[in-house]
Amino acid sequence: MKIEKNKVVTLVYKLQENNEQGEVVEQVQEDKPFVFLYGSGHMLPKFEEQLEGLSQEESFNFKIAKDDAYGDFQDNAVVDVPKKIFEVDGELREDLLQIGQVIPMEDKEGNQLTGIVKEVQEDKVIMDFNHPMAGKDLYFTGKVMEVRDATQEELEHGHAHNEEQEGQEEQ
């Protein structure tokens, strides 16, 4: 069976910055493979494009240019946030204010954002809302472990289900 729209794909991969000599960013092993519903709109389009037509046991290696991944690093996505935003019931959440801490947040329009604490100052926190891979090309090597038809439930939910996800909401 080949990878195409509405197939559930299971794969293992290594993601490196820029090329095969680049720093390893993520490695997905056979004991916890990556499972996704192809064509559901949750993956980078160029990632799916590179996998289309592959079958079980086929290997892959490809590069996705930063412009087709997470774009350039945006200086204006590094912002000063008032420290008082991190108060809950009048108490400052010091546990959140650690350099490198990843914090889910929301902008004024209600859009979900993920920020990384870069610096904590007396009255403000400097946060970076760029994707961690912004400004970098992505280099993937890996292997397709399984390709199967999506169930009706998976199609309705818009994501793949597997044993570990049973009864859990999408992460």
Tally of domains within the chain: 2
For residues 106 and 152, membership in a common domain is answered with: no
Residue 4 reports pLDDT greater than 70: yes
**Which residues share a beta bridge with 142?**
13, 60
Exposure class string for 125-154: b at 16+ Cβ within 10 A, else e: bbbbbbeebbebbbbbebbbeebeebeeeb
Residue with tokens 């490196």: 16
Residue 10 reports pLDDT greater than 60: yes
Q: The domain spanning residue 66 has which CATH number?
A: 3.10.50.40
**In this predicted model, what pLDDT tens digit does every residue of 31-81 receive, in sequence order?**
999 999 999 988 999 999 999 999 999 999 999 999 999 999 999 999 999
Residue 20 reports pLDDT greater than 80: yes
- Residue 91 sits in which domain range? 75-128
Query: Is the separation of the CB atoms in 71 and 44 below 8 Å?
Result: no
Task: For residues 84-112, give the mean pLDDT.
Answer: 88
Tokens of 58: 């086929």
Residue at 95 is within a domain: yes
CA distances from 109 to 54, 100, 124 (A): 40, 25, 21
Residue at 171 is within a domain: no
pLDDT of residue 126: 96
pLDDT of residue 166: 40
Residue with tokens 């993601």: 15
